[in-house]
Structure 1
Amino acid sequence: MTIFSCYIFLIIIALGGIGVDVMRHERDRARLQGVLDRAVLAAADLDQTQDPKDVVMDYLTKEGLQDYIDRDTDIIVTPEFSGEENIGPLGYRIVEATARSSFPTQFMHLSGIDTLNVQAHSVAEERIGEVEISLVLDVSGSMNSYNRLVDLKVAAKNFVNQMSANTRDGDLSISIIPYATQVSFPDSMLPHLSLSGQNDHANCINFSDDEFLTTSMDLGRERERTLHMSPWPWSSYAFDLRAENKRVYYEMCDDGVLIEEGETDGSVSRNNREILPFQKDANAINTYIDELRAWGNTSIDIGMKWGAALLDDSTADMISAMADGSESATVPSEFADRPSAYNSGDAMKVLVLMTDGANTDQGAIKAPYREGPSNIWWNGAEKVYSSYNDSTNQYFWHHEGIWQDHAYGAQPGSEYEIQTRVRVCGYYNCWYEYQTETKEEGGNAARLDYAELWEQTSVRYVRNLLDDWMGSSAAGNWYNSVVDWTYNDTKDQRVRAMCDLVKSPERGAYIYSIAFEAPESGATLLDYCASSDNHFYKVGDASNELTIDEAFSSIGSSIRKLRLTQ
């Protein structure tokens, strides 16, 4: 019994000793980790003029832990500069350090474990000297539902204020890219772009497929300028505003017409829907955000293209010209050297992508229907159309329903005959018969250029007009030859390609994405785009109560000046 009791006592002592060794191990590990965390934070500070490696070693030396780290192999500084060389233009520093130690066990050696190893690893970075942010915001028609646009404005303005309050003047530039069916750019960008299909109203670009395989934007490349037109195929979009001398609404490229206010003459400034490039004044940015209006389809791909291009130094010449310090300059002169090159370290680059929907269809006018004379004539005095059939060399007068050898009004004052069906009644019954009526041609016919035609008349209306003599099938084929559609699956592929490029290590940019009460397809796409799971925010989902304001606030907090990343 005495021997058994001794065994029990020894077991208790051994177990207690093991616990002491474990506690000592955790104590030493916590101490080493704490000192190392403080060391790398101090070393990563851009205001720190000492060599970052010396700073780390100094912290450990003061705690008597210098023997547990190798200055040359265990401390990594990125970029490989130190002291004064790393202050200013590089704009970021990452310090990574690993320390290792071991101590002899007091009790565990009885079981064959003579030492316990202790390791601490820490990384800190500072990279928020200069910051370039592209806010790519959905302003499609669905944003008018459930107070979404109102909530977005509040959240976006709070984000602007948060970022502005935590960066030095001139360090932070914010570009806002509102997108719906298309993305409109300001007139100040026009002189720096080479565009075909000029018009006075629509400031949008029809990007080619290959342009979604790069973040750059070759300013010298000729691109199609989106025409001011309404291409939608449905019969409810068969409208004509030429008699009222107004431009089409539900247009592909927004020109600032506020449909909800009944404006269709372009009298409303379109600044509330155009790109706002490289601004620093929080009040001016917030005033712009307040004026945003929502309507149209959803083209996340075009929003991403412009957002990425305004972070790419391929647009630097354009921004420099817009920031020349003149009275007409639309960009502050501090940003004349922006955007910097991706991954140059000159500035932290952030793209915030937000949507409440998913990609929808987008139309464009095909060649040869973009420019040059059309086969449609307009008589403004009589407010009637004529259309030309080149296979018969005849003109159809749509208001009369007859063929002639010239457009109505091309020979004003001349007479023409028309057969009219009239109802004639005798003593006992009535019947219909045709009578010849002589009329005089009025007004003057003017051949419309295609740009003029689409500006005031929807494509569907012209299709229905031609249906008068072509027939429905042929008119439908004509419509398909005029409008080129880009569908949602293609647009999704474009978005994924652009997001892969922006968040790639070669560019060193961050993508934060916000799915704001978006359908599953839209949320899935934005989840893919985010730089990581922590960069994606699903707002309004039943599984969480996160608001869009909280999402933007979280994004602002994650772009803080100094943070411990691991």
Structure 2
Amino acid sequence: MCKTSEKGRALRHQGIAKLSHRASTAVARFFHSEDGNMSIFAVFGSLSLIAIGGVGIDMMHAEMKRTKLQNTLDRAVLAAADLDQTLDAESVVRDYFDKSRMPDALTFVDPDEGLNYRRVTAKAEESLDANFTKILGIDRFNAKATAVAQEHIQNVEISLVLDISGSMADPASGTTDDKIDLLQDAADTFIETVLGEDNEGLVSVSLVPYSEHVNAGPDIANQLNVDWRHGYSHCLEFPDSAFTSAALNTHTTYEQMQHFQWNYFGSNEVVDTICPQYSYERIQAFSNNETSLKNQIDKLEPRAGTSIFLGMKWGTALLDPSTRGIATNINSSAADDSPLKGRPFDYGREDVLKTIVLMTDGQHDKSYRLSNWVYDHRDEVAHWARYNLWYYLNRNVHSYNRSSFYYQKYNAELGDRLLDDICDAAKAKDIVIWAVGFEVEDHGRSVMQNCASSPSHYFDVDGVEIEDAFRSIARSINQLRLTQ
């Protein structure tokens, strides 16, 4: 038994010695081996990537918080700055943050308002605990937001230039109403919107009805140098060069448009003269009288041809400071503190918006005038005021001689060019041009699109859509803008 035990112990000692030798050899190999050096870099690299990713997560959370603050603040100040808002501005802003469950984030609200504006400035800030960026010594993130909203009813000068040519008597598509009826409804809506109580007299409107010509009316025409030939109507002939300028030359002498009717058919009833002759067809300039403007609009009747360029020329001129003297005399009875005083204001004023709404249902065509030899004396002027030209020619003049009685003043191409000229002149003065094509064809659409201030300022409408267009334009005058 002893020999066996001793032998067993010897074997165990040998085994332990071998294991110890192997272990020491493995440890030695480990310390002397270079195979595992990359593992150390991998460990530290992984830790770095985790740290960077963690910082990114913290920053993403902070940005999400800031975005939520900014969006809430934007909506809040927009609602508070609305001039139709009856609640206290600060209460409106705080209510938005209460409902967003961030009542303590709002740090500053500053409402400022006057007769024609309301401006609300607000700031918000909220802290966010950091998770990963603490290893960089950043324990918290501060999310901040600032917003300013302003609704400002500017001093607005509008020229409403409406087509009352003969084609406006045609039925509108999709309805039993004539186009003139739908235009009148749309224009009335426009006037009601821009001259509403909220505007406090800050808006003036010049109504410019046009067909083949524009009747300036005696209130305007009598203040200009005109070579008067008759008192039947008050249309003025412009040289082509006048359409390259927004101004109305108050020093030149204007030729008065002949008073006659060009109509191939019909009786001798002289009701569709080239120059519109009735009082409700005259320009009503620099007005803020809603009732007067709507009453005139509702009386308009379709007549004669289409000269868009003449309507646009007058619409532009009535926004130009060159007609301020005319406006002053027209509104001479207004009080000294009347908002109409001093209009049209100078270009470039930040508190003034000048805009034209130009509407047509067609395109330019030819326009004729009587030859000088048949319109030279007072009795001849009176004669053509009594007779429709073609009614008279067909009954009293041989066919081969009829063409000597008249000549062509404008054609469609010249009309388009003059319209382009006056639209460019208006744009050069930063006048905003809204153009409405009412059931127009391709050429008329192109001409009106070219005149508009931008593609978004052109409306192509059919039937009752015209009222939506005029309502949209009217609302755009009073814009709510987020300024910061």
Scaled by the length of structure 1, what TM-score is found? 0.60
1:30, distance to aligned residue in structure 2 (A): 4.5
Counterpart of 2:273 (choices 239, 243, 251) is 251
Structure 1 residues 14 and 302, CA gap change in structure 2 (3 angstroms): same
Is the 8 Å Cα contact of residues 243 and 421 (structure 2) preserved in structure 1? yes
Structure 1 residues 295 and 43, CA gap change in structure 2 (3 angstroms): closer
1:467, distance to aligned residue in structure 2 (A): 5.2
Is the 8 Å Cα contact of residues 228 and 251 (structure 1) preserved in structure 2? yes
Aligned ranges for residues 526-537 of structure 1 at < 5 Å? 526-537=448-459
Separation of aligned partners in 2, 1:138 and 1:558 = 22
Match of 1:539 in 2: 461
Is the 8 Å Cα contact of residues 231 and 483 (structure 1) preserved in structure 2? no
Once the two structures are superposed, residues 399-422 of structure 1 have per-residue CA deviations (whole angstroms, 9 ceiling, x without a partner) of xxxxxxxxxxxxxxxxxxxxxxxx
Matched, 1:486 2:410: yes
Residue 186 of structure 1 aligns with an amino acid whose one-letter code is G
Aligned to 1:501, the other structure's residue is in SS state: helix
Separation of aligned partners in 2, 1:123 and 1:493 = 44
Is the 8 Å Cα contact of residues 231 and 460 (structure 1) preserved in structure 2? yes
Structure 1 residues 13 and 152, CA gap change in structure 2 (3 angstroms): farther
Matched, 1:363 2:368: yes
Counterpart of 1:137 (choices 162, 165, 176) is 162
Is the 8 Å Cα contact of residues 33 and 122 (structure 1) preserved in structure 2? no
Separation of aligned partners in 2, 1:508 and 1:104 = 51
Match of 2:473 in 1: 555
1:314, distance to aligned residue in structure 2 (A): 0.8
Match of 1:221 in 2: 252
1:524, distance to aligned residue in structure 2 (A): 2.1
- Matched pairs, number: 402
Cα root mean square deviation, aligned: 4.5
Match of 1:167 in 2: 198
Counterpart of 2:346 (choices 341, 348, 360) is 341
Separation of aligned partners in 2, 1:156 and 1:26 = 47
Matched, 1:452 2:392: no
Range with greater deviation from structure 2 (29-38 or 182-191): 29-38
Separation of aligned partners in 2, 1:522 and 1:119 = 52
Matched, 1:303 2:311: yes
Matched, 1:520 2:438: no
Aligned to 1:302, the other structure's residue is in SS state: helix
Residue 166 of structure 2 aligns with an amino acid whose one-letter code is G
Match of 1:441 in 2: none
Separation of aligned partners in 1, 2:375 and 2:131 = 87
Aligned to 2:222, the other structure's residue is in SS state: helix
Aligned to 1:219, the other structure's residue is in SS state: coil
Matched, 1:314 2:236: no
Separation of aligned partners in 2, 1:123 and 1:353 = 34
1:520, distance to aligned residue in structure 2 (A): 2.0
Once the two structures are superposed, residues 19-46 of structure 1 have per-residue CA deviations (whole angstroms, 9 ceiling, x without a partner) of 664454343244346557878999999x
Is the 8 Å Cα contact of residues 325 and 333 (structure 1) preserved in structure 2? no
Separation of aligned partners in 1, 2:61 and 2:209 = 57
Separation of aligned partners in 2, 1:34 and 1:27 = 11
Match of 2:86 in 1: none
Separation of aligned partners in 2, 1:346 and 1:363 = 43
Residue 227 of structure 1 aligns with an amino acid whose one-letter code is Q
Match of 1:28 in 2: 66
Match of 1:409 in 2: none
Separation of aligned partners in 2, 1:325 and 1:520 = 47
1:360, distance to aligned residue in structure 2 (A): 2.1
Aligned ranges for residues 459-498 of structure 1 at < 5 Å? 459-460=389-390, 468=398, 472=400, 475-476=402-403, 478-479=404-405, 482-498=406-422
Residue 274 of structure 2 aligns with an amino acid whose one-letter code is M
Once the two structures are superposed, residues 303-324 of structure 1 have per-residue CA deviations (whole angstroms, 9 ceiling, x without a partner) of 1111111111111111211111
Once the two structures are superposed, residues 237-295 of structure 1 have per-residue CA deviations (whole angstroms, 9 ceiling, x without a partner) of 7x7x5xxxxx734321111xxxxxxxxxxxxxx22211111222222222222111112
Matched, 1:210 2:247: no
Separation of aligned partners in 2, 1:362 and 1:16 = 78
Structure 1 residues 565 and 248, CA gap change in structure 2 (3 angstroms): farther
Residue 210 of structure 1 aligns with an amino acid whose one-letter code is S
Residue 322 of structure 2 aligns with an amino acid whose one-letter code is S
Structure 1 residues 94 and 231, CA gap change in structure 2 (3 angstroms): farther
Aligned ranges for residues 159-198 of structure 1 at < 5 Å? 159-198=190-229
Is the 8 Å Cα contact of residues 159 and 319 (structure 2) preserved in structure 1? yes
Residue 271 of structure 1 aligns with an amino acid whose one-letter code is S
Separation of aligned partners in 2, 1:559 and 1:166 = 15
Separation of aligned partners in 2, 1:166 and 1:300 = 32
Unmatched runs of 5 consecutive residues or more in structure 1: 46-61, 67-82, 97-102, 109-115, 242-246, 256-269, 373-447
Structure 1 residues 252 and 121, CA gap change in structure 2 (3 angstroms): farther
Structure 1 residues 107 and 548, CA gap change in structure 2 (3 angstroms): farther
1:229, distance to aligned residue in structure 2 (A): 1.1
Structure 1 residues 271 and 467, CA gap change in structure 2 (3 angstroms): closer
Once the two structures are superposed, residues 147-202 of structure 1 have per-residue CA deviations (whole angstroms, 9 ceiling, x without a partner) of 22212211211221122225344322112111111111222223202212421212
Greater Rg by CA: 2
Is the 8 Å Cα contact of residues 313 and 422 (structure 2) preserved in structure 1? yes
Separation of aligned partners in 2, 1:125 and 1:213 = 36
Is the 8 Å Cα contact of residues 436 and 461 (structure 2) preserved in structure 1? yes
Residue 519 of structure 1 aligns with an amino acid whose one-letter code is E
Matched, 1:502 2:398: no
Structure 1 residues 287 and 230, CA gap change in structure 2 (3 angstroms): closer
Aligned to 1:278, the other structure's residue is in SS state: strand
Aligned to 2:198, the other structure's residue is in SS state: coil
Unmatched runs of 5 consecutive residues or more in structure 2: 1-38, 40-44, 84-103, 122-127, 134-140
Is the 8 Å Cα contact of residues 66 and 144 (structure 2) preserved in structure 1? no
Separation of aligned partners in 2, 1:498 and 1:272 = 25
Once the two structures are superposed, residues 223-246 of structure 1 have per-residue CA deviations (whole angstroms, 9 ceiling, x without a partner) of 1111111245x5x47x7x5xxxxx
Separation of aligned partners in 1, 2:455 and 2:56 = 40
Scaled by the length of structure 2, what TM-score is found? 0.69
Match of 2:17 in 1: none
Structure 1 residues 358 and 475, CA gap change in structure 2 (3 angstroms): closer
Range with greater deviation from structure 2 (168-177 or 19-28): 19-28
